[in-house]
Structure 1
Amino acid sequence: MSDTDGVARALVVMAHPDDIDFGCAGTVAQWTDSGTDVSYLLVTDGDAGGDDRIGTGVEMAELRRTEQRKAADVVGVHDVRFLGYPDGRVLPSLELRRDIARVIRQVRPQRMVIPSTERVWAHIGVSHPDHLATGEASINAVYPDARNPHAHPELGDEGLPAWTVPEVWIAGGPAPDHFVDITAGIDRKIAALACHASQIPDIDALAVHLREHLATMATQGGLPEGRYAESFQVINTA
């Protein structure tokens, strides 16, 4: 059975512009190619990103929104939303849960991809506090908020009925159990990452390390030598 069977709509929620492209752009490309309508929700605009500042935080945020939209287009995603929370200061607040639940009720996805809520000590970069907070707020938005008609009653007032997301894929966690062969689309993943020029000064150097990492994931997932894979932990949330 294909990963996209029965999945008409998917929603990917991440903290910063470029998180999706590092974590799951190859998988997203497969989904859109198969006809799944994928939406992106970024909690921040990435205004604190970049070692070499480009103007003000407002200008950086605008640049990073533009970069993310271009990267999304590379993998066939045309619905890109930003919540505008401050980069580096995300908390799993009730307000953030409500704002994610609102988008869940608008998009009505059969599948979501979210960051892990668990710190990965071996690869500390994936455990940015914004990632952990976004993961925590997202899973709470899935259960119980989005499906509970009595949670966040203002969403009902907005004409958004409750919606149950039956499946969540966790990216960047310590216990992956599902590996997606993205060998055919790895160049598109790298092309999507190349759109984030404000954050990635040398895409060729990154591509070398990325291919090594994705090859390791493929081996871990039992795929043949020479393949590349993205990894997830799949959770039944029905």
Structure 2
Amino acid sequence: MTRLFLLLGLVGFLASCNTIDSDEVKPEEIYQSYMYEFDAQLNKTKAHAAFQIGSNTGKYIQLTEPASIRVNEKDYDEYNNFGMYHYHFRFNSKQDATFVFTDNDGKSFSNTIEKESLNGIGFEGEISYEKGMDLFINFSGLPVQDRESVYVYLWNELTNATHYQTTEGETSIIIPASKLRDFDGSMVNITLHREIKYSLENTTTAGGELEFLFSSAKKQIQM
């Protein structure tokens, strides 16, 4: 138990070393990173935000008053300084999302994602699988678009795998048999995901980006 507390303390210390308060940074140097995530299985939307110095590779920034981030006029549900995003918001159902970042000088930057403008994804038809063969999955919604990627995620109690399709115009994913061997004989969960990144319209001079992720409802197959 003592070792666990020491490890957690070390992780927290290292995370804090890579974070700086927003009142120690020039407002125009703050880079905004947002993510909009919709889960069709749960019918829930999540929004995430992070702030860094200069670019998406810069040191992370923790907002200190009067700086703030709100989504749909709501304060964040959770803050942590681990991972790619630090501020987390949760909403029921698929909905528009307006991110409003206010810097320490009181200047606000608003960016809205309209739910109807986002491309969804789902399974087209049934999935059939023959042991030792590649797994072929057709997906519904638009074909893969420019700067977009679609991927399939498979998992069971013991293992998982991800396989991407990034070729523009494609409407299917083929998962090589070599990536499926660890799933033999098990019930496997499968979800499809569509992701794309855009540049934000309203930012500081440092800029910003939005990542969109749509996750399909889950299917199961016996492998």
Scaled by the length of structure 1, what TM-score is found? 0.27
Q: Which one has the bigger helix percentage? A: 1
Q: Which one has the bigger strand percentage? A: 2
Scaled by the length of structure 2, what TM-score is found? 0.28
